[in-house]
């Protein structure tokens, strides 16, 4: 069954696409957690990080290259940005299609709450 991200990639659901090529699609999150919040998604359906194979190494590396380009375009490269990939339920992965969040545009604070 196709994920919501697959439907966005195919153009079946409207979105604010900021980057697209043959390997990845990047679009603004509909519930942004920072002034800049972009999702970078492989066009190939990969459910989680646990499903990445050696054949996907170039694709996953490309996601980071695209993140750099988007950060520059969005004007957050110099001030700083965060890349986040969640894997499975305990990490709060909501859509089971591998994706990278790019957050920026304000100080983001610590990664996790200190206990």
Q: Is 99 a catalytic residue?
A: yes
Contacts of 38 (CB under 8 A, 6+ apart): 18, 26, 27, 28, 29, 70, 74, 101, 102
**Six token digits for residue 89:** 């339920």
Active-site residue (options: 31, 37, 99, 101): 99
Enumerate the active-site residues.
99
């Amino acid at each position: 069954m196709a994920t919501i991200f697959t439907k966005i990639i195919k153009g079946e659901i409207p979105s604010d696409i900021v980057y697209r090529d043959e390997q990845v699609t990047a679009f603004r999150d509909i519930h942004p957690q920072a002034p800049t919040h972009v999702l970078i998604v492989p066009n190939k359906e990969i459910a989680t990080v646990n499903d990445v194979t050696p054949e996907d190494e170039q694709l996953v590396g490309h996601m980071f290259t695209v993140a750099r380009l988007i950060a520059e375009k969005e004007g957050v490269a110099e001030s700083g940005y965060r890349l986040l990939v969640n894997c499975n339920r305990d990490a709060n992965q909501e859509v089971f299609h591998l994706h990278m969040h790019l957050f920026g545009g304000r100080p983001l604070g610590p990664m996790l709450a200190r206990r």
